[in-house]
Amino acid sequence: MNLPAVALRGLCVLPKMAINFDVSRDRSKEAVQYAMLHGQKIFLVTQKSDKVEVPEEKDIYTVGVIADIKQMVKLPGGQMRVLAVGRTVARIMSMDTSGAYIDVEVEELETGIPEDTDEVTKEAMLRILKDELMKFLQSNQEISKEVSRALAKVGDIEELMEVTPIHMPFTLEEKQNILETLDFSERYALVVQLVTRENEVRRIRNELQAKVRSKVEKNQKDYVLREQMKVIREELGEDAQSDADMLAEKIEELSADDSVKEHLRKELSRFRMMSGAAAEAAVQRNYLDTMLSLPWNEGTEDRNDLKEAQKVLDRDHYGLEKVKERVLEYLAVRSVTGKGDAPILCLAGPPGTGKTSIAKSIAEALNKKYVRICLGGVRDEAEIRGHRRTYIGSMPGRLVAALTQAGVNNPVMLLDEIDKLGSDYKGDPSSALLEVLDGEQNSQFRDHYVEIPVDLSNVLFIATANDVNTIPDPLRDRLEIIEVNSYTENEKLHIATDFLIDKQMKKNGLKDGSLSISTGALKKIIHHYTREAGVRSLERKIGDICRKAVKEQLDKGRKVTRVTEQNLEKYLGREKLFFDPVNEKDEIGVVRGLAWTPYGGDTLEIEALLMPGNGKVQLTGQMGDVMKESAQLALSYARTLSEQFDLSEEFFEQHDIHLHIPEGAVPKDGPSAGITMTTAIVSAIGQKKVKANLAMTGEVTLTGRVLMIGGLKEKLLAAKMAGITNVLVPDKNKPDVDEMSAEITKGMNICYVSSMEQVLDAALVQ
């Protein structure tokens, strides 16, 4: 028969042998693909030399195996992974290598036992081969028990002859020799000879291993003798104090519980029994050093002065009242009870709002040590729980290492970027943190390297996150989440004046009084050069001004640089950002919505257009799935208003509706644009104008109810920057507005709505 052929490098396939192999050469890929399309049969033959990249007829053996392809998977990089099962032995009669793949004409070969062989001979051959095979299996632990049992149950000499070479560690040449030996008696003699030789090799290897063990025992004896000699030298005053004795003194001086000391004494006794030249001795010494450096019962005394703590917090950070209030509550409880449960706080908010830096201020306010662990991108569970000591290069987890770094058992430990933990085949670090961040369990935290419980109940954990929705639910349940919201323009102005300018002047080598930035210039920077929830970009812009001021003073010999609103473009270039101002006139189908982004709030101008057609609805502006569903809800609700606007029954079948959100390159999603879309569609259908000086936010239901939304502070700030004074807000968000400072709501007319009827009454020009 004619078959596509694959020349295998370093592999010899036998009948009944299932094998996985990777295919990377083009001719081999073509052969596999042809076989998959034409019966899945392929001829597998071994290549004589691994180094030949394009084999010809002289480079491969003539005898191979006809195999069935069971599975073919394409891998990255253009490779294929093939699972095939050998069927029958065949010889190449002719070969054609001129095509896309190697095409061979093969003849199947008869390899079975002669029919005239009597049963007694078969039984004798079976017993001889099985006895040798069982000797090998008993001395080889690498072959699984299931395979051994299966081989022991084989009762047919032909079947045993087929499966024996598959499981034996024969060389490639030996397997090919077995394949090419067609006479059953000759092949049987060859297989028995190879199995017997393998058993002899195993016997000699075991004898050598026994000799090695005896040498190891001799080394142990030498170690005891050396220890006796060491004692004799100490008696004569000729030897200094040993490492083990020094460690023993440190263990007795260690401030730890008796259970910890007892564990260390046992580990020390193991260390004493090890040879100093052994690798295990270095591992054991490192373990003892790590355990002795842990602050078991070492701690700092908390500051009980609430006023001093308040002073420190106010000195370093402007605003953040909820965070400061929670820290002072913890300190007050601890000063009264002597030991309060350490809270596990999670500061959640946009980048640049001071989440990481406030942890250091909290540590100073409480008179605690501060240590930071960055969890962004951590994927290995051993980073949290540590590595077991059985592994080479094992070490404790980050939490134990942080305790060692702090030197006390009650520091402020910052778990930075907890929402960016990953997970892969090495484990799930977020699950490992469940025990750490549970006040009921973390007093008995077990690190795989330390092996005994470590008390983390005195640690004040503070986590930071940009988006709490990406934190797994069980872990989020253990966190006391405190929202760190976006800063208002006034707050940014205070932060820049009180903190950022002085910080950047010192960083860039400017002396006090050598640079002044006017209030108007700062407001212009905040409004037209940065668009963010925090102050990181604002700090960069101030840094740009400082660097240009230094260069200007060196070049022109100036002593003072004054930056004002008029000359700001000289230092920062032209204005980078412009907020869409409030619309000048009322329009049909144009409604201003409010949106939340991780970097603050923004306004969305949603446009709806009605045109003759056949009832199609077109949505543009790169909307997400949730926003598309809101658009469908809006259209369904609008259809219920047909009678109110005197529309015919065929109106929606005779008109198309196009809904668009500008800035089409920016992806948008979320349910809070529901009432905005509904208002735009209703305005277009009823040809009613929408008030220009109006913005809205809220999720809508199919029956026209308005549901609450999140991120309201950022949305109101965006409306304020756009100059919009009238805002429609869900009635259920009223408590959120009540908590906001007067600076945000001042000059704004906030109307609370609970249904689309109220929205349309307030938005449409009657």
Query: Which residues does the annotation mark as catalytic?
Result: 672, 715
How many angstroms separate the CA atoms of 731 and 734, rounded? 6
CA angle (176, 178, 181) in 5-degree steps: 110
Grouping H, G, I as helix, E, B as strand and the rest as coil, residue 101 is coil
How many angstroms separate the CA atoms of 587 and 764, rounded? 10
| CA gyration radius, the chain | 39
Cα–Cα nearest to 266, from 240, 282, 284: 284
Residue 66 has which token pair?
Answer: 């006809």
The DSSP letter of residue 438 is -
446: left (phi over 0), alpha (psi -120 to 50) or beta: beta
Contacts for 608 with CB less than 8 Å, ≥ 6 apart: 589, 590, 591, 657, 658, 659, 660, 677, 680, 681, 683, 684
Q: Which residues pair with 346 in a beta bridge?
A: 463, 481
Cα–Cα nearest to 541, from 520, 553, 565, 525: 525
Cα–Cα nearest to 12, from 36, 48, 38: 48
527 neighbors 595 (Cβ within 8 angstroms): no
Residue 171 has which token pair?
Answer: 């060389």
Contacts for 535 with CB less than 8 Å, ≥ 6 apart: 352, 353, 354, 487, 492, 495, 496, 500
Give 324: exposed, middle or buried? Use CB within 10 Å, 0-12, 13-18, 19+: buried
